Structure 1
Amino acid sequence: MTLPGPSHPYFAPRVTALAHRGFSLDGLENSMTAFQAAVDLGFTHVETDAHGTADGVAVALHDSSLDRTTDGTGEVAELPWERVKGARIGGVEPVPLLEDILGTWPELRVNIDVKGESGIVPIAEAIERTGAHDRVCVASFSGARRDATVARLSRPVATSAGTSEAARFFLGGALGLGTLRSLRTVDALQIPWRVGVVPVLTARHVRIAHAAGVAVHVWTVNTAPEMEALLDAGVDGIVSDRADVLRDVLTARGLW
């Protein structure tokens, strides 16, 4: 089965399975250990988040501060790398450089969520230094942040819609309108499939996106029945904390 979607080499030929912040059942998200665990499971794609330190170093971390996931404290954008690198995720794992993730596994596809203004320049520089253009997708809740990052690159990368673009797409789909205008500048819609407990993604949305040549990736999907339902609806990719479950579902369907 070949799914509709963009031709950029970042995308898998069938279903793009993304290990969300790597794979860890021990709370070690966005650590090198978590990314290695995803690779060991056979994943070719991982999702990560990135911020820039006060001295312009791109680090893989979801939150703007060190407080929740590490034994350190403070806003990453206000701290030098020398301070950030001393923090330990879950008290044991160092905060990784984005460049280390891109460089350690040279075949690994990495979905990078640009989390703040401080990350724009250092994220672009990390992609440039590692020559990772063919294997990254640059995403952000802010389309402006995404575009500012991409504008600093010497070669094209895959891109995903921001929040406002996705909202226009959802609204247009609900009203039965053609919503292709909001998708003209991106390769993928990486979106939640529900808000709270209410599903918002429909097969109609997927068909509209496919008609525009845009892939539909959904997050964060952690149970087999939900994965099955979304695959039945025709989505092109799933982002999951349970990479092990996702692998088993796709294997059973002949899509791994």
Structure 2
Amino acid sequence: MRPPPRHPYLSHDGVLAFAHRGGDRVAPENTMAAFHNAVGQGYRYLETDVHASKDGVVYAFHDDNLARMVDENVAISTLTAAEINNLKMHGKHHIPTMLELFETFPEARFNIDAKNWPVVEPLIALINHTQTQKRICIGSFSDARIKQVVRNVGDICHSVGPLGAARFRFGAWGRLPLSYTAGALQFPVSEYGISMVTKASVAYAHKRGLQVHVWTINDESTMHELLDLGVDGLMTDDCALLKKVLQVRNLW
């Protein structure tokens, strides 16, 4: 049974369906077209990653380098906002700022991965300026970055970091009485050959007040398997597929 949500961000009837980077089946990842498509399909939760420009503007973009999406072999953090605003992903789509996403989708909730240290302070400033704490869950591959954001923005949802996730898995194996301040665990099906999501681990998480969100799931059978295990949220690149699966199970 899902535990009571520790933060308003996590309050949602049914399974939390996340559009990973906005989804990439209709438009390229992290583009306004992708996010519009997800919201148009009824998605309430949008996952994205953030980097900061040289002058501290926060952008929704995954890679450190622009090469894959923009065909420019340069780190995004070395460019000013004015320079980034002139770039196009796949020759067509501008790189959106987080402020643009907050303002364009006022009802959406955002799962934000702070990709590196240079973005942390600009992200803190943006959240405090826009007062979007209730609409955000912070995650990162760095426990320290998560703690820094949480420490400086007040009451905000955050996921368990990598060290906490490892601690959780070993705790679940040994049924240890560990405690957590985070609202959710967010991880892949397996890491380093170790299965992270089992019926026992999901039950262990729920007993400790944690929701379980799994990424990035793009095939139908795995979606059903994870839902059968009792997970609380799924992240996908294929928004139409996850919506269909949840509709079949009367969870949309």
Q: TM-score, normalising length from structure 1?
A: 0.92
Distance 1:100 1:125 in 2: 15
2:175 counterpart (168, 174, 177): 177
Distance in structure 2 (CA, Å) of the matches to 1:148 and 1:161: 13
Q: Structure 2 regions of 5+ residues with no counterpart?
A: none
What residue is the counterpart of 2:159 in the other structure? 160
What is the Cα deviation at residue 173 of structure 1? 2.0
Q: How big is the shift at 1:180?
A: 2.2
Q: CA–CA distance in 2 between the matches of 1:23 and 1:63? A: 16
Q: Do 2:18 and 2:235's aligned partners in 1 also have CA atoms closer than 8 Å? A: yes
**Which amino acid in structure 2 is aligned with residue 177 of structure 1?**
R
Q: Residue type matched to 2:250 in 1?
A: G
Shift of 1:76: 1.7
Task: Describe the SS at the equivalent of 2:118.
Answer: helix
Match of 2:145 in 1: 145
Aligned length: 251
Task: Return the structure number with greater relative CO, CA threshold 8 A, min gap 6.
Answer: 2
Q: Distance between the aligned counterparts of 1:147 and 1:195, measured in 2?
A: 23
Structure 2 counterparts to residues 1-256 of structure 1, below 5 A: 3-11=2-10, 12-25=12-25, 28-153=28-153, 155-174=154-173, 176-178=174-176, 180-181=178-179, 184-195=180-191, 199-256=195-252
Q: Does the residue aligned with 2:163 lie in a helix, a strand or coil? A: helix
Q: Distance in 2 between matches of 1:26 and 1:152?
A: 36
Name the SS for the 1:89 alignment partner: coil
* Matched position secondary structure for 1:137: strand
Q: Is the 8 A contact 1:3 1:13 kept in 2?
A: no
Q: 1:27 offset after TM fit, Å? A: 5.7
d(CA) in 1 for partners of 2:55, 2:65: 15
Question: Which moves more between the two structures, 74-83 or 203-212?
Answer: 74-83
- Deviation of 1:135 after TM superposition, in Å, equals 1.0
1:49-77 superposed Cα distances (whole Å, 9 cap, x missing partner): 00111111110001111111123331122
CA contact (8 A) 1:103 1:130 kept: no
- Which 4+ stretches in 1 moved above 3 angstroms? 195-200
Superposed CA RMSD: 1.7
Q: Distance in 1 between matches of 2:83 and 2:4?
A: 42
Cα deviations by residue, 1:33-57 (Å, 9 ceiling, x for unpaired): 1100100111000100001111111
Percent identity, please.
Answer: 37
Q: For residues 149 and 5 of structure 1, what CA distance do their matches in structure 2 show?
A: 24
Q: Which amino acid aligns with 1:250?
A: L
Q: Secondary structure at the match of 2:46?
A: strand
Structure 1 unaligned residues grouped into runs of 5+: none
CA contact (8 A) 1:193 1:201 kept: yes
The AA in structure 2 aligned to 1:121 is E
Tell me by how many angstroms 1:5 deviates. Answer: 4.3
